[in-house]
Amino acid sequence: MRISITSASLQPFSVEQWGMHQQQIVRTKRKRAVTIHVADSQGNRLTGASVLVQQISKDFPLGSAIANTILGNSVYQVFAADCMCIFLLFLYKGEFAHWDVNNEMLHFNFYEQRLGPNASLDFFNTAQLADPLATLFMNEFNVIETCEDIFSSVDSYVSRLKDLKAGGALLEGIGLEGHFSKPNIPLMRATLDKLATLGLPIWFTEVDINNHYDQQAQALYLDEVLREAFSHPSVNGIMLWTALHRNGCYQMCLTDWNLQNLPAGDAVDKLLSEWETKQVGGMTDEHGSFSFAGFLGEYSVHVTYGNRSTEATLSLPQGDETRHLNVQV
């Protein structure tokens, strides 16, 4: 099938307009409306009940890689030797949520050169059989960071993912490393939109900013990258490549050796605070209801009416409809 474009247009956006669009996506995809209904044991709606809601966990994972200094630990060395004797997938069956089955396949074909053209496909099939509960990923660099790498364009990534699926691989996730210089945010958006057409969850797996920028610039660019990633509905999590070890960090540290925040650490803490529901509370209305909008995750709910009180938990998954919780006091 050939598609010809007969007309095209470009729409300029200001930085402010782009940020407003990000916030709109966050409000509609990362948050959800909640209404808590309070009643007595006879089912009578209670007006003026006190409701206190606290978020206790977040639905969106944002974390960091750990240092490799544990490799010098003698206990770990014994453990690692044992791992070599037992196939890793069986040893950790059910323990890991995600497996990066064959890393950076667009840039390197080490196994295909030695084991044949179907090596990666065989790896995926073996991993699926060994640990059927794990989500199997392909992971790659320079897909989201730049358009100058001829080996890892978004089109080549989509093609490789489709080839694996056509070959029978149960490929369930897309990994984007995210080793950025100065980020190109419109390129990020376009790349994410195209990858999202595959209907697979997307994770940023190794996010950092090149250290040829000073710490303030790193923090600024990191903020831009994290905001764009968080505001795309197909992105399910972010891992930072900021492990602090004996030789420092790969490109960017969040803290100094005394675990005091550097500018990048301040940027992450600011976003973590921004992307959580603060403690909210109030009184039920004439219908016995109290409403709020919260970030996806788990909540504790404390309700008091007169000399009676009760506690409940609320799970807030993604959804377009208002989440309702009935509480009896």
**Number of Cβ atoms within 10 Å of the Cβ of 163:** 13
3-state secondary structure 88-144: HHHHCCCCCCEEECCCCCCCCCHHHHHHCCCHHHHHHHHHHHHCCCCEEEEEECCCC
Cα–Cα distances in angstroms (integers) from residue 243 to residues 54, 107, 246, 286, 296, in the given order: 30, 24, 10, 52, 27
Under DSSP, the state recorded for 254 is: S
Q: Is there a contact between 203 and 193 (Cβ–Cβ < 8 Å)?
A: no
What's the sign of the alpha-carbon dihedral 141, 83, 94, 161? positive
The catalytic site residues sit at: 104, 206
- CA separation for the pair 296, 299 (Å, rounded): 9
Contact by Cβ (8 Å): 316, 59:
yes
CA 295 vs CA 17, 19, 73, 180, 316: distances in Å:
22, 18, 40, 28, 8
Q: What is the dihedral of CA 147, 148, 152, 155, to 10 degrees?
A: 40
The answer to whether the CB of 238 falls within 8 A of the CB of 225 is: no
311 conformational bin, left if phi > 0, alpha if psi -120 to 50, beta if neither: beta
**C-alpha distances in Å from residue 37, one per residue of 273, 289, 324:** 28, 5, 7
Please answer whether residues 102 and 110 qualify as being in contact, where contact means their C-beta atoms are separated by less than 8 angstroms: no
Residues with Cβ within 8 Å of 5's Cβ and at least 6 positions away in sequence, in order, are: none
Residue 158 C-beta-side C-alpha neighbours within 13 Å: 13
